[in-house]
Amino acid sequence: MKRFFLLSIFVFVNTLFGQTNNSFFSGKRNLSFNINYDENGFFSEGYYHFNTTSNYFVEASINDFNLDKNRTSFFSTTIGSMRSISLNTTFGFGYTSYFDNELEYEHELFLGSRYNFFSGIIYFDAQQNLLSYQAIINANLIFKRLPFELDFSIINNNSAHELFLNLSKTFNNDLFIGYILSREKYEGSNKFPYSKNGKTGTYIIETTDISFFNEIYVGFYF
């Protein structure tokens, strides 16, 4: 149902989240809103995160929100726990429930860890009984003097390897802008005309392919 990549993988690379947001790079932002533009036009996203004093957290997000009925919006809620084992090591786990504007639901368990600049996460889709994997490299923990945020992510979702490169910049601790280059799987269809026994028509074949995509975004932290 959901796209494996959502902007929140990078923009909110500060809290542990399910297949969409995840991250073991600690951050201090609890609420944000952004407007995005990609090959299909404008859409918006929102995110909320709440930590308890006992290392548990709750999150909610809206992704790909648009009034255009041809674009599917996704909503998710997450509960989980994230704990620091040492100065450079974090361990986390949790559960995420997804649904879209057609009320199709998915449920997912995740488990992951961060060591220094590298994060690894395993996801289990409870409905389809499938495992997928994600790795994230935080370049800012390698190159300390970068004047912008830079992250790289790779996802194996059982049918393809998807790659994402995110470049972003935060101004005055509130406004952020960014650009994402991705190579990811997408679904499409091909139409073929036919003529048989004096009858003509068109039949449609659903296809799956992989290609490069571009996305820019601007938003605010609250």
Q: Which domains does the chain have, with CATH numbers?
A: 8-221 (2.40.160.40)
CB proximity list for 82: less than 8 A, separation 6 or greater? 15, 16, 24, 55, 57, 90, 91, 92
Place of tokens 């997928």: 132
Q: Is the pLDDT of residue 52 over 90?
A: no
**Do the beta carbons of residue 5 and residue 164 sit within 8 Å?**
yes
Q: Which of 87-91, 121-125, 186-190, 205-209 has the lowest mean pLDDT?
A: 186-190
Q: Is the pLDDT of residue 49 over 70?
A: yes
Q: Is the pLDDT of residue 19 over 90?
A: no
pLDDT of residue 200: 80
Residues in the chain: 222
pLDDT of residue 178: 93
- Note every long-range contact of 147-153, with CB atoms under 8 Å and residues 24 or more positions apart, other chains counting: 149/10, 149/13, 149/178, 151/9, 151/10, 151/13, 153/5, 153/9, 153/10
- Residue range 156-172: mean pLDDT, rounded: 87
pLDDT of residue 148: 93
Q: Coil, strand, or helix at residue 177?
A: strand
- Residue range 74-94: mean pLDDT, rounded: 89
pLDDT of residue 2: 46
Q: Is the pLDDT of residue 102 over 80?
A: no
Return the percentage of the chain with pLDDT > 90, whole number: 31
**Do the beta carbons of residue 222 and residue 32 sit within 8 Å?**
yes
pLDDT of residue 29: 62
Q: Is the pLDDT of residue 67 over 70?
A: yes
Q: 143 pLDDT band (50/70/90 cuts)?
A: very high
Other C-beta atoms closer than 10 Å to the C-beta of 193 total 8
Q: Which helix (H) or strand (E) holds 217?
A: strand 199-221
Q: Is the pLDDT of residue 23 over 60?
A: no
Q: Which of 21-25, 120-124, 187-191, 212-216 has the lowest mean pLDDT?
A: 21-25
| Maximum average pLDDT range among 46-50, 55-59, 142-146 | 142-146
